[in-house]
Amino acid sequence: MKLVSAVIKPFKLDDVRAALSEIGVQGVTVTEVKGFGRQKGHTELYRGAEYVVDFLPKVKLEIAVSDDLVEKVIDTVTKAANTGKIGDGKIFVTALEQVIRIRTGETGEDAI
């Protein structure tokens, strides 16, 4: 089992969610986050004063999947979140040692 974490632009969330549903992903956790990478933020004007926005709004998706679905999820997120511009985001894949469904007590892939 793997945990696929993707940080994407907020306006791409609906496209990514729909694409993941099409390939059979049953659950996604979404968190609103802020961060920066190569984009490095930008400057904005507010009431005549210029200020720097260091952290840009992003959305973090966490998707727990079985090993055989990992590559499909990565491809799907990559295609759906891609705008071709800087700041499209990143995908991280980590191993899941154990998963437990609280309601039923199921463990492992049955809990996903």
C-alpha 109/C-alpha 71 separation (Å) is 17
Give the residue from 102, 103, 101 showing the smallest Cα distance to 112.
101
Distance (Å, rounded) from C-alpha 91 to C-alpha 37?
A: 13
The tokens describing 2, both together, are 């793997």
Tokens, residue 102? 């609280």
What's 72's DSSP letter?
Answer: H
- Residues 28-39 pLDDT 10s: 999 999 987 776
Under 8 Å CB-to-CB from 53, ≥6 apart: which residues?
41, 42, 43, 44
User: Which residue segment(s) compose the domain that 9 sits in?
Assistant: 2-111
- In the prediction, which pLDDT does 86 show? 86
Let me know: does 71 contact 83? Beta carbons within 8 Å: no
Q: Which pLDDT score, from 0 to 100, does residue 39 have?
A: 67
pLDDT at 40: 66
State residue 43's pLDDT score. 67
CATH code of the domain containing 34: 3.30.70.120
pLDDT of residue 36: 79
Of 20, 62, 58, whose CA–CA distance to 41 is shortest? 58
* Structural domain count of the chain: 1
CA–CA distances in Å: residue 2 to residues 10, 50, 97, 101: 23, 43, 8, 16
- Spans of the chain below 70 pLDDT: 39-45, 51
